[in-house]
Structure 1
Amino acid sequence: MASTHHPKHHAQAAATDVYVFGYAQIMMELTRRLQTNTVKVNATQAPTNQFCQYDAPPTPDMKNVVRPNVDTLYSQAWLDLAAEPMVLAVPVMDEGRYWLMQLMDAWSNTSFKSPSSTRPLGAPTTDPSSGAQVYAYALTGPGWKGELPDDVHHVPMGTDTVWLMGRIEMFNTGDDVENVTAYQSLMRLLPLSAWPDQGTYVPPDGTYDPTVSTAPPSEQINALSGPDFFAQMIELLPTTPLNPPDPAMSATLAELGVYPYDPAKLPGAQVLDQAKEEGLKLIANHKGPAPINGWTFVKTDIGYYGTDYLQRAYVAMFGLAANLPEDALYPSTGGPSTDSAGKPIPYTLTFPAGQLPPVDAFWSLTAYDADSFLVANPAEIYSVGHFTAPAPDSDGAVTLYISAVAPEDDSLDKTNWLPIPTSGKFTITLRLYAPQTDAIPADWPPALTRAE
């Protein structure tokens, strides 16, 4: 009986699988290079193992981040745990202030041990440098063995490369910003050997490489040829264990000569370029869950992906650094700002009585223009729901008014108004921090409704 096995077709399919498998890893690496390519800390970059602190709320003029939130200030860092564990110190904050230190491995998986105000992982200790009460976490790489001080909580990571994305809640965008930046100044990153240092540790300067692209990583990854993409994987895999371990994918990587690297087995440029073309198509066309009342709402299989590499790549393509569902959820919807005659369309979003977003921390609704930036408006209102609780209707429901101009009815509370652009498309994102995932009804959120 003739064999139906076609080695050429098999190699092509395997190479496409590996492209999809490696997509999130390469997206993370391109992001890491861009954000650490500096000698000193600046507004958007920091050397490895140092914080880049965002010390002011975003505005519509800020174009370096799409879909920014106006609820928290970010503290981010790229860590290298190869030499030794790093200690992350997070100050004890005032009661009721939400914070989250999201920790991701090199594959974009968020650690289930990412600490937060709702999950601080143990008791505080005294920072030997500032004397402040802090939670101290020792982040260790996969090969580390050793002893930790009693007052430091162990957070094992699956790879030596870690992306830390910290968020601290602002109670308002006025005088409370100073309180948050004061907490940021008490956050510390330092090698484990320097932890009891009384404040003498000075992090080394980083390096600047003029050949590192400043283009967004999403553009950079599309510009990589198939062979270039695979060359990046070949360089990274020897120091990046698969997380989780996957014997089937490990066998495929070995068969194609990707890891362990074997140039004699590696497919030619034509196969690798086709793997890129087919891989990108698969990722872009991957179907997320069916919309709920017009909302795109990913409630599961996000933040940690196991061996679902297509889902991992899809999230990396459209929203790298996604949180675990128990930490944050971000349903989004949108529509046109005007009708065919150019007249502004007013919308409403009504939460029935008792059906406000179920959260243990807080929720907000933010509007974005067609380019995913904040909407400039004279009232300087960029989100609703968080800083001031929206006023309820007479029946206990809460109606939000989403329109380019303020509602004409003077009796309506302006805390319920969210401005959208005067032209073009817009989107809105609900943010649920520490959501009560079990309390979210299957048909929630309610639909965004034209009010005309």
Structure 2
Amino acid sequence: MGATGAAREAGGVPPGTVMTPEFARLLARDIYVWGWPIVNAFHRRASFAAAPEPGLVDGVLPAAPIGHVAMLTGYVDPSQRWVAHPNQDVVYGFGYGAVDDDPVVIQVPDFGDRYWVCALYDARSEEFSRLGLQYGTGPGNYLVVGPRWDGEVPDGITEVLRSPTELVAMGPRVFLDDTPEDLEAVQPLLNQMVIHPLSAHTGSPRTVDWRKVPHFPGGDTSAGERQWVDPETFFDELPGILDRVPPLPGEESRYAMMRALLAAADSEPDVAAAAREAAVETEAAVIAPLFHFRTNGTRLDGGWNTPLNVARWGFDYLTRTATAKSNMYVNQPEETRYFFLEYDSQDRRLDGDKRYTITFPPGQVPPVDGFWSLTLYNPEHFFAPNELGRYSLGTKSGSMTYAADGSLTLHIQHEPPAEGQQANWLPAPRGAFELTLRAYWPKSGIADGSWTPPPVHQV
């Protein structure tokens, strides 16, 4: 079939069709929203590729060469700016693979009954794995291969997982409570959580003392997350992206239209200029507002928002892009449900100069089989420094106190609360802030919507 026939088969524009700058601008805006999370992912992977070995950038951010993962040994440091909206309930690890070229082996230790999950994401930030306590995953070696890989699986591999794309982002998460005893107890398990390329696999168990890995300079001191997508170069990068990320079934015509725009831009400077201008305009007018959690997901009573299809986007390009902009690399719905809040029960912006409470009635703390937490962020979706170094409360917080009737009230404010309430105090900064409630391994009440977070009231 010739090029013209192929374009028609895909439902696209035949090659050579005249494309006006006005039409190019219209098409480019849609393409920019579609491709923003994917270009984002490739840039993040490129930033990791510079690491000479698994270690920590500036002593706080895990980074590793392609095919490896670096693990933290405690909660994520408040100063990191690589990814917005982290939590302080788990020990994170992170890394990237290029699994068509060289698959990766995930060595999973015996975590016992400690909650853990190893999320694997394709280039669309779609999670394709089911590895963790809730899936009954046992210790062993798990091989992650790409869509075009056709090599030999070595002995000793427990299971083979095939990624939809050659780019794989790998994010282990291991629960940690806030006691020094648990911090020490988790270290031997973390040291056995090792991910490495198949080309370096020997079949022998590996351990890494993650407390002794090297530190690399990074120099990122920005207030918010670094910019991962440049609208000025987006359409220059897009051809290579399309070659490496095959279309989903049903996206063939979309790919044909994108290639038609790129072909026209190659031969028509005014079309190329129109596409670039549209990208810049869309970044400001469409992408930037998606950073705010009120634009992400479904609105609930009390001002909470929740996305229902995290990490399982399909053709929901809106939520995929909103999440990549605001809090990339989330868990799929049966692993974690996220509830976001920027305004109180009277629709007033949360402000640390005010005092707030959230009360869970008796027996109505978030229903989970894993754990839950309420985390406070500044408007850039990072932790707001405070003297306690406390950024969340929840299952990890063994010192929280319940009322005589079994209810739980948390106090959210800048100044210390009254005597006897300090254990339930979530310190807020001066000025605006926001809250996220996470429910790991949610029970059916969260999944079917019969349980939602209570409102946050200004005192």
Tell me whether 1:405 sits opposite 2:415 in the alignment.
yes
Residue type of the partner of 1:322? V
Tell me whether 1:136 sits opposite 2:146 in the alignment.
no
Does structure 2 retain, via aligned residues, the 8 Å contact 1:255–1:265?
A: no
Q: CA deviation at 1:177?
A: 2.0
Q: CA deviation at 1:257?
A: 3.6
1:99 equivalent in structure 2: 116
Q: For the residues of structure 2 that align with 1:395 and 1:407, how far apart are their CA atoms?
A: 21
1:237 equivalent in structure 2: 242
Does structure 2 retain, via aligned residues, the 8 Å contact 1:75–1:184?
A: no
Q: CA deviation at 1:309?
A: 2.1
2:188 equivalent in structure 1: 182
State the SS of the aligned residue for 1:175: helix
Aligned CA distance change for structure 1 residues 438 and 7 (closer, same or farther; 3 Å): farther
1:164 equivalent in structure 2: 170
| 1:37-56 equivalence runs, <5 A | 37-43=50-56, 44=61, 45-56=63-74
1:205 equivalent in structure 2: none
Larger CA deviation: 399-408 vs 163-172: 399-408
Tell me whether 1:333 sits opposite 2:341 in the alignment.
yes
TM-score calculated relative to the size of structure 1 = 0.81
2:254 equivalent in structure 1: 249
Paired positions, count: 415
Q: CA deviation at 1:73?
A: 0.8
Does structure 1 retain, via aligned residues, the 8 Å contact 2:93–2:173?
A: yes
Tell me whether 1:109 sits opposite 2:118 in the alignment.
no
Q: CA deviation at 1:155?
A: 1.1
Does structure 1 retain, via aligned residues, the 8 Å contact 2:298–2:308?
A: no
Q: For the residues of structure 1 that align with 2:279 and 2:252, how far apart are their CA atoms?
A: 23
Give the alignment partner of residue 263 of structure 1, picking from 256, 263, 266. Answer: 266
Q: CA deviation at 1:199?
A: 5.8
Q: CA deviation at 1:246?
A: 1.4
Deviations 1:337-370 (A, max 9, x none): xx9xx99422110112222111110011122334
Does structure 2 retain, via aligned residues, the 8 Å contact 1:244–1:306?
A: no
Does structure 1 retain, via aligned residues, the 8 Å contact 2:97–2:168?
A: yes
Does structure 2 retain, via aligned residues, the 8 Å contact 1:11–1:267?
A: no
Q: For the residues of structure 2 that align with 1:372 and 1:311, how far apart are their CA atoms?
A: 17
Q: Percent of aligned positions with the same letter in both sequences?
A: 27
Give the alignment partner of residue 397 of structure 2, picking from 381, 388, 392. Answer: 388
Q: CA deviation at 1:102?
A: 0.8
Tell me whether 1:282 sits opposite 2:286 in the alignment.
yes
State the SS of the aligned residue for 1:381: coil
Residue type of the partner of 2:320? R
State the SS of the aligned residue for 1:219: coil
Q: CA deviation at 1:38?
A: 2.1
Does structure 2 retain, via aligned residues, the 8 Å contact 1:244–1:307?
A: no
Larger CA deviation: 150-159 vs 386-395: 386-395
2:321 equivalent in structure 1: 313
Tell me whether 1:435 sits opposite 2:439 in the alignment.
no
Q: For the residues of structure 2 that align with 1:201 and 1:380, how far apart are their CA atoms?
A: 31
Q: For the residues of structure 2 that align with 1:265 and 1:158, how far apart are their CA atoms?
A: 34
Aligned CA distance change for structure 1 residues 139 and 244 (closer, same or farther; 3 Å): farther
State the SS of the aligned residue for 1:263: helix
Q: For the residues of structure 2 that align with 1:448 and 1:429, how far apart are their CA atoms?
A: 12
Q: CA deviation at 1:72?
A: 0.7
Residue type of the partner of 1:155? L
Aligned Cα root-mean-square deviation (Å):
3.4
Q: For the residues of structure 1 that align with 2:388 and 2:148, how far apart are their CA atoms?
A: 53
1:119 equivalent in structure 2: 135
State the SS of the aligned residue for 2:241: helix
Q: CA deviation at 1:170?
A: 0.6
1:359 equivalent in structure 2: 368
Does structure 2 retain, via aligned residues, the 8 Å contact 1:256–1:266?
A: no
Larger CA deviation: 390-399 vs 72-81: 390-399
State the SS of the aligned residue for 1:179: helix
Aligned CA distance change for structure 1 residues 357 and 162 (closer, same or farther; 3 Å): same
